[in-house]
Chains A and B, each alone.
Chain A
């Protein structure tokens, strides 16, 4: 079987004639979220067509997973969305636990919530810096954002031995208990965080240029967002009340009290504000988790990690990652290696409606719209 190769140009004429200009944006620049390319057709500076081109970072994790043990895929999940490795670990662990029916000890569930919400905090912090970069304020905002992010990564390094490539979750728990003094340090850090958010908001939220660049740009209706499969902050910014932490109630989230922020207009500003509000809710979750975390085991002793063999069957497990619904579809034949692992990457699927959001806007808005979706190419291309 063979297929005709396609060229990268647009396939059909849209009748726009000679006054339009085709530009290949990337790979790289679009404010360097990574090796991503967009083919755009512009009438003057107005976008009339946009086609994303993927695959520059494709490593085929799913094929690699078929030749590894079940546990052997865990460190690979760190490399999907490398900004938030711990939540990737968590999604994979949740899916495997569904597949094999594994119980997780209570303390491990609390540790998962704590590291997961810290990951959400640092992802949204980094987002604040990146979106300002997309608007042309290169550096300053990102520097302050990364200063805070690095403090959270220091906590992760203390806990797991690595800033980013943590490999921390196990089937039925976590790899190691919290080190002595870690909780106190994390609690003290989280208490400093609202002041940082206030400072950032003071600098950014009311800023005239920021408002002009974000408000009314890249508007998306809730109905379209659902049909396009968007999830996470982008979906909620369009006014949809859907958070998997509430809907599925995985882990110990049902015991924790927090609210789900929602946007009203579905524009870039709503997506920006939503991250700030979500970060504030994460702080609330963290405070409760710090207060409630019990003593006890952190790993289910009945689960054999090495040579792990889940029963025959399949399962789809998902969590609310910082960027949206991160899911794993697993098929087991009962052996030591998976028959099939499919990753449902929020970054890729959130790009489905990129063209719809960009049509009719100016070229400079495309970077902002792309930035407001918050993608990581390690996850888009896998």
Chain B
């Protein structure tokens, strides 16, 4: 079997799901892993198709990365076919912007392997995966408020800052020592 190319995957998508908005993004690297940017409203349908189409059978979503770009966030999926021993096919979904419109559909219902990795992208980048069964922080603690992998993230001076005792508490301590 010849290697599965993103151009072929795109032609399959166009043939079966003509209304789905998918475009080919060129990758100038010598490895030639060009990616398919799928509009977020069509992503779930396209993912289902990629997994089940007998000519593609991309049954193994190996890797999910979040990426922070200047005007949007991206979730990047690296898909392989264990049945046909093909891959990687790179699938990307894009948020509207970086602050308010940060929702993309979760592909966990299609590939369970995206479960923890989408949680990680939510945790570190703030991408909200709609339809994820259990979207919580994965690596940072639950009370943490920011998204540390963002390019504009500023680390606090002291992560475990707590106010020092003062006023009433100090007076009480002094009274007990008197």
Seen from chain A, the residues whose Cβ lies within 8 Å of a Cβ on chain B are 1-3, 5-8, 54-55, 58, 60, 62-63, 98-101, 224, 226-231, 240, 242, 247, 310-318, 325, 327, 329, 331-332, 340, 342, 344, 348-349, 351-353, 381-382
Contact = CB atoms under 8 A, between A and B. Distances in A.
Nearest to A331: B67
A123 B145 CA distance: 38
B48 interface: no
Contacts of A54: 116, 138-139
Nearest to A95: B31
A332 B142 contact: no
Given A1-B126, A60-B148, A352-B112, A226 B139 contact: no
A247 B88 CA distance: 12
Contacts of B115: 352
Contact of A101 (B31, B62, B136, B143): B31
A55 B29 contact: no
A185 B148 CA distance: 47
B78 A329 contact: yes
A1 B73 CA distance: 15
Contact of B145 (A2, A63, A240, A311): A2
B82 A226 contact: yes
Contacts of A58: 139-140
A229 B139 contact: no
Contact of B142 (A7, A226, A242): A7
Contacts of B67: 331, 340
B28 A340 contact: no
A7 B28 CA distance: 45
B62 A229 contact: yes
A5 B30 contact: no
A251 B62 CA distance: 21
Interface of B: 27-31, 33, 59-63, 65-68, 76, 78, 82, 85, 88, 90, 99-100, 102, 111-117, 124, 126, 136-143, 145, 148-149
Contact of B117 (A1, A226, A349): A349
Contacts of A332: 29
Contacts, number: 123
12 contacts: A6-B136, A63-B149, A99-B29, A226-B82, A227-B111, A229-B62, A313-B29, A313-B31, A315-B29, A317-B31, A329-B78, A332-B29
Given A1-B126, A101-B30, A353-B112, A344 B139 contact: no
Given A313-B27, A381-B139, A344 B63 contact: yes
Contacts of A247: 85
Contacts of B78: 316, 327, 329, 344
B112 A327 contact: no
B145 A227 contact: no
Contact of B30 (A100, A325, A342): A100
B73 to A, nearest CB: 12
Given A242-B85, A331-B67, 6 more contacts: A55-B140, A99-B31, A100-B30, A229-B61, A242-B82, A315-B29
Contact of A311 (B28, B88, B90, B142): B28
A310 B30 CA distance: 10
A227 B59 contact: yes
Nearest to B111: A227
A340 B74 CA distance: 12
Nearest to B66: A342
A1 B95 CA distance: 15
A316 B29 CA distance: 11
Contacts of A327: 62-63, 78
Contact of A348 (B85, B90, B114, B116): B116
A66 B82 CA distance: 32
